[in-house]
């Protein structure tokens, strides 16, 4: 799900009183989907790995497992938020380096 679509649809809910549903496989530890899945409030979350879907034959999943890079298979078929293989620093490492205990060298001005 593109972040732009999410942000474009949200204002429509104010008029329609509708519900917002997001359906996706994880696409890394980035984007609105990751944020809402891990930190969002008011969402019902359902996780359905491909192995639990009766319409997907186990032989197909095994072929995919052999054919795809491991991180892509986990992301697309096992509902796993993965770092991309081209990242210099992984999401968890970056998150662990953020702290209020260090004064920024160049503090941002209040707007």
Q: In terms of pLDDT, which residue wins out, 77 or 25?
A: 77
Report how far apart the first and last C-alpha atoms of the chain are (Å, whole number).
31
For the chain, the domain total comes to 1
The whole-number average pLDDT for the span 32-45 is 92
pLDDT bin (cut points 50, 70, 90) of residue 106 is confident
Q: Give the model confidence (pLDDT) of 46-66 as tens digits.
A: 999 999 999 999 999 999 999
Please report whether residue 72 resides in a domain: yes
Please report whether residue 97 resides in a domain: no
Please report whether residue 12 resides in a domain: no
Q: In terms of pLDDT, which residue wins out, 42 or 88?
A: 42
CB 29 within 8 A of CB 81: yes
CA distances from 99 to 17, 38, 44, 89 (A): 38, 19, 30, 17
User: What range defines the domain where residue 73 resides?
Assistant: 22-86
Q: Give the model confidence (pLDDT) of 70-80 as tens digits.
A: 989 999 999 99
Decide if pLDDT at 95 tops 60: yes
């Amino acid at each position: 799900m593109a972040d732009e679509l999410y942000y474009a649809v949200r204002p429509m809910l104010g008029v329609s009183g509708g519900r917002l549903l997001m359906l996706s496989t994880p696409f890394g530890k980035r984007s609105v989907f990751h944020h809402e899945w891990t930190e969002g409030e008011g969402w019902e979350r359902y996780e359905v790995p491909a192995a639990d879907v009766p319409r997907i034959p186990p032989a197909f999943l095994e072929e995919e497992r052999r054919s795809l890079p491991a991180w892509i298979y986990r992301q697309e078929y096992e509902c796993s938020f993965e770092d991309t293989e081209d990242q210099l620093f992984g999401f968890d490492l970056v998150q662990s380096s953020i702290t209020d205990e260090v004064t920024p060298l160049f503090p941002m001005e209040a707007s």
